[in-house]
Amino acid sequence: MEPAEIASAPDKEIVVGCGRKLRLRPIRTDDAECLVDLGLRSTPEDLRFRFFSPVRPMVGALTSLLTGFNRQNHIAVAAYDPASAEGESGLLGVVRLVLSRDEPEGEFAIMVRSDQAGHGVGHRLMEEMLGWAHERSLTRVWAEIMYENKRMLSLAKAFGAVVQPRSRDFRTFQVVIDLDS
């Protein structure tokens, strides 16, 4: 499946901890408000872990970047609970994979709404992202993670990531997951 097909693919059901059924859908260009709501329902610390600096959730340059990406080399999907009153606008988490232009690899990022942490959402989003990577015969995926982000480091390690210091002050790590293509 090509990245453009993922962006226009129909919703997909996933099951997370305790059998809860969620849906995945591609991030759309009109999702700015949904992403702001995800940010407003997350702690400042979780936002800092994802964006590496304090972020104020509001429609603007960041939401434009997160919704207006090149769908040929960038896949972004959101999870939501279809049984909730908010439906597909109530995002619980987002996973992204940006494909390298030069190498068979990609950079990934995951954000799970703070009140959904520990319920298996991040784990299932990681599995989905790794599925995309395998479909594209990538040899590895990687991410930059702040050293304080213990949940994300633990998640990456659960999928076999090698963790390497990225900065001289050890404030960030690069996690690399080698794939058997």
Q: Render pLDDT for 133-156 as a digit per residue (tens, 0 to 9).
A: 999 999 999 999 999 999 999 999
d(CA 170, CA 103): 26
Report angle CA 167, 131, 116 to the nearest 5 degrees.
70
Q: Which pLDDT tens digit goes with each residue over 92-116?
A: 999 999 999 999 999 999 999 999 9
SS in 3 state form for 112-130? ECHHHCCCCHHHHHHHHHH
CATH of 3-178, one of 3.40.630.30, 3.10.290.10, 3.30.70.120, 1.10.760.10: 3.40.630.30
pTM, 2 dp: 0.89
